């Protein structure tokens, strides 16, 4: 059961909900050609992977706001985040929320 504690907001051009539901995770695996385990263990040193992860996590928010988000928009959109640390923390929290795991305070390594 979802509640507002599961909502993860990432600050980009505006506050956006970063969410990894079934559809987002399925899109992420298809887009990257990697399993969820491979994505998680990939860490945050592959910038194209980060763009794809955040892209898939933002598709629901974009749809809710009548926007058409494109993968090629992600580089510029992520540049609007307050810091890279903010992006990594938001992704980590959203993944933990998706799998119901207790938050560990750190982004996946």
pLDDT tens, 4-45?
A: 557 899 999 999 999 999 999 999 999 999 999 888 887 677
**Do 82 and 11 form a contact (C-beta atoms < 8 A)?**
yes
Chain-centre distance for alpha carbon 36: 13
The pLDDT of residue 14: 97
Query: Considering the entire predicted model, what is its pTM?
Result: 0.85
Please give the sequence-ordered ranges of beta strands (E in DSSP) within 1-109, or none if there are none. 8-11, 15-18
């Amino acid at each position: 059961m979802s509640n507002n504690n599961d909502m993860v907001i990432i600050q980009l051009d505006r506050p956006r909900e970063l969410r990894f539901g079934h559809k987002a995770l399925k899109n992420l695996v298809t887009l990257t050609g990697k399993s969820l385990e491979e994505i998680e263990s990939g860490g945050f040193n592959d910038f194209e992977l980060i763009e794809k992860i955040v892209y898939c996590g933002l598709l629901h928010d974009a749809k809710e706001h009548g926007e058409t988000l494109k993968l090629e928009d992600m580089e510029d959109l992520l540049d609007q985040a307050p810091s890279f640390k903010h992006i990594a923390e938001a992704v980590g929290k959203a993944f933990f929320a998706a799998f119901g795991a207790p938050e560990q305070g750190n982004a996946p390594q």
